[in-house]
């Protein structure tokens, strides 16, 4: 049996289980801006989650192969990736990076195909942030410090809004995420319509 003094102590002392939950540590991979609203370069993006690589991608069926090939690599901040695993879509403060690199032949023992070069040819970031018009913004970096928001209207926004499978991002090309999005039912109506009505008739 509890002695009265102990009982009294238990009543007046805060019980550990009743303490408010510890505040969730803010994720250190959220977008960060300069005082004038430029996105700071996400210095640790090479430690983020890799989604895909594409080579010489073009939306134009008549595009001829460029004389120099180029790879693109897509990365996402880990906190957004974890959230996508739960919900099939992106949370606020998602950052997706598109890094372009040159392609090389005949390096070291490689005699066929192409490998990625150290030469960075472009660096763009797609940010989901409720404080931006439309909830998403594009930033194109021409230096490793910061980049201005690409203002609407721009082709970036229209192509992504019209053709990307999940929440204006090209999840149809991110193989580990696309199956998940289909299961969670987060694929956009526009994308489902697009694949149901191919613009180029199939020939035998
Ligand atoms: C004609 C269509 C089109 C236009 C215009 C376009 N993109 Fe994209 N974008 C794509 C495709 C397709 C991918 C998927 C790349 C892959 O699979 O490797 C992509 C992927 C991206 C990604 C990776 C994250 C995501 O949203 O899926 C970023 C960042 C990006 N584009 C930035 C830009 C910026 C900045 C512009 C404008 C300067 C732009 N894009 C214009 C088609 C487009």
Q: Would you tell me how many other CB atoms lie within 10 Å of the CB of residue 193?
A: 9
Query: How many Å apart are CA 36 and CA 147, to the nearest integer?
Result: 10
Report the pocket of ligand 1 as residue ranges, CB < 6 Å. 52, 54, 57, 59, 72, 74, 96, 98, 124-126, 138, 140, 150, 155-156, 159-160, 164, 169-170, 173
Q: Which of 51, 151, 159 to mutate to test the pocket of ligand 1 (most atoms within 8 A of CB)?
A: 159
Centre of ligand 1 to C-alpha 34, Å, is 24
> Could you tell me if 104 and 115 are in contact, meaning their C-beta atoms sit under 8 angstroms apart?
yes
- pLDDT tens by residue, 103-147: 999 999 999 999 999 999 999 999 999 999 999 999 999 999 999
| pLDDT for residue 197 | 85
28 has a pLDDT exceeding 80: yes
Centre of ligand 1 to C-alpha 132, Å, is 18
Residue located via tokens 């997706």: 96
Query: How many Å apart are CA 99 and CA 46, to the nearest integer?
Result: 10
Q: Which long-range contacts (CB under 8 A, 24 or more apart) does 169-178 make?
A: 169/90, 169/96, 169/126, 173/52, 173/54, 173/74, 174/51, 174/52, 174/74, 175/52, 176/51, 177/51, 177/84
Query: How many Å apart are CA 72 and CA 70, to the nearest integer?
Result: 7
Query: How many Å apart are CA 135 and CA 118, to the nearest integer?
Result: 33
> Could you tell me if 42 and 93 are in contact, meaning their C-beta atoms sit under 8 angstroms apart?
no
- Mean pLDDT (whole number) for 178-189: 97
């Amino acid at each position: 049996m509890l002695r009265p003094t102990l009982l009294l102590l238990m009543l007046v002392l805060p019980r550990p289980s009743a303490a408010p939950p510890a505040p969730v540590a803010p994720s250190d991979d959220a977008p960060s801006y300069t005082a004038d609203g430029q996105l700071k370069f996400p210095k640790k993006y090479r430690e983020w989650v890799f989604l895909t690589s594409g080579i010489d991608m073009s939306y134009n069926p008549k595009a001829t192969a460029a004389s120099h090939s180029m790879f693109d690599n897509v990365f996402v901040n880990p906190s957004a990736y974890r959230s996508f695993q739960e919900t099939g879509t992106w949370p606020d403060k998602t950052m997706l990076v598109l890094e372009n690199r040159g392609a090389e032949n005949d390096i070291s023992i490689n005699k066929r195909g192409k490998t990625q070069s150290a030469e960075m040819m472009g660096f763009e970031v797609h940010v989901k942030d409720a404080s931006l018009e439309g909830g998403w913004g594009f930033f194109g970096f021409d230096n490793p410090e910061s980049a201005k928001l690409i203002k609407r209207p721009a082709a970036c926004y229209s192509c992504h809004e019209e053709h990307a499978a999940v929440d204006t991002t090209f999840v149809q090309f991110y193989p580990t995420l696309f199956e998940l999005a289909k299961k969670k039912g987060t694929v956009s109506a526009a994308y489902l319509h697009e694949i149901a009505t191919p613009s180029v008739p199939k020939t035998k």
